[in-house]
Structure 1
């Protein structure tokens, strides 16, 4: 079995000391599982939260990411973190289309907690992933099939082969490592920056661990990362 790692670069920690990342390794994933009850529960949680605010942009979790995107020079209404995009669509349409049981579950949890969740098929990742500033040479495969080159300095999830598996940090993942029917081993990354992030990310990891155990298998690894312990190897 290959070894993998996940980390944030020292530069990311220096620029964003409020960052709280959580990471899970899940194995034995398959597409024949039923997550309808879990998804319905977390959709209900999200719906109740949205009823207490004017829009998803008023949630502290989303506000923190908007401030971060603005500091990175990105217009928050043009480039949204993944959880804001999901909440926006959910608020307008009342539901999300099913994709894959694991993706549906992660999307539902992301809605409920208003925190971005990324899921990477590890069979498509070379050696590991680091959240870092792009060198301007990385290759990003869009869902349109086009290959893009992230801007130098842009925050990406990069592997050892120079592939960018996400662009603009939590804005958009790559098609290269998206969950497929044949996916069996994934890395799930949760990132938050708001005041209660440490507590909320831990609660989200706990909820994700329970859901994985009920549906597939308990996570093979799970950790909250810190600036002084920024790396998970497995």
Structure 2
């Protein structure tokens, strides 16, 4: 059901026991159903699980530790920039009151809830903004990359781990996505992605991807492309 995303030979050699799993889905919507789709209650339930815990408690979870070690392998400072699931929990869920719910778009919200439930970072791209040749590779240097939320592109240094298609860089892998393939109101097809790292099994990632589809089915009918 899930396919592995190819890696360049040098990345495959360095990142042994790392695998990116993905599935391309077409979303068929009932507009009335989508308009009622709301994940506020899910965030409230997640808050009940985590409130009162310290950042240290969160950082010691075995799945989160696995992704911290992966960040270390990539040369990223996981204390300064923690893995996405850890970051969401520490920013929003450990406080005594759930002061703000980071709702973005029903598709993104569904994937975020699934990632938090399974403690596996997940990504979602607009598939119509992605060409063929999706792969994990190292930047050559000089590639344009416009980080999500940024108004202008930047030139990448050489040797950065990126997810790219035949035309462009889609993300600084596990660190920051691009504006190029962000989810919008026009999104009708998606790439749903999860990364397996040492200490995380393929089943862990597949279950998180399954959960994301369960959450998406609250507002969409899903068809594998």
Q: Confirm or deny a common fold (TM above 0.5).
A: yes
Give the unaligned 5+ runs of structure 1: 222-234
Equivalent residue, structure 1, for 2:161? 155
2: CA distance between counterparts of 1:192 and 1:132? 16
Supply the distance in 1 between the matched residues of 2:48 and 2:115 (Cα, whole angstroms).
12
Unaligned runs of 5+ in 2: none
Aligned partners of 1:174 and 1:43: how far apart in 2?
29
Counterpart CA distance in 1 for 2:107 and 2:7 is 24
Give, in angstroms, the shift of residue 147 of structure 1: 0.6
Q: Is the 8 A contact 1:80 1:171 kept in 2?
A: no
| Cα offset, 1:68, TM superposition | 1.7
Tell whether 2:69 aligns with 1:40: no
Aligned residues of 1:30 and 1:182 also touching (Cα < 8 A): no
Q: Deviations over 1:34-84 (max 9, x none)?
A: 4325x6346624752676774321122221121122122222122332222
- How many residues were matched structurally? 214
Preserved contact between residue 121 and residue 177 of structure 1 (Cα < 8 Å): yes
| Partners of 1:87 and 1:114 within 8 A in 2 | no
SS of alignment partner, residue 90 of structure 1: helix
Corresponding position of 1:227: none
Q: Residue in 2 aligned with 1:187? A: 191
Aligned to 1:230: none
Q: Match for residue 89 of structure 2?
A: 87
Two-structure CA RMSD over aligned residues (Å): 2.7
Inter-CA distance 45–101: structure 2 relative to 1 (3 Å threshold): same
Match of residue 140 from structure 1: 145
Higher relative contact order (CA 8 A, sep 6+): 1
Shift, 1:148, TM fit: 1.3
Matches within 5 A, 1:65-84: 65-84=67-86
**2:217 maps to which residue?**
213
Deviation at 1:186, TM superposition (A): 0.9
**Alignment TM-score, normalising by the size of structure 2:** 0.81
Q: In the alignment, which residue of structure 2 is the partner of 1:229? A: none
| Aligned mates of 1:129, 1:43 — CA distance in 2 | 36
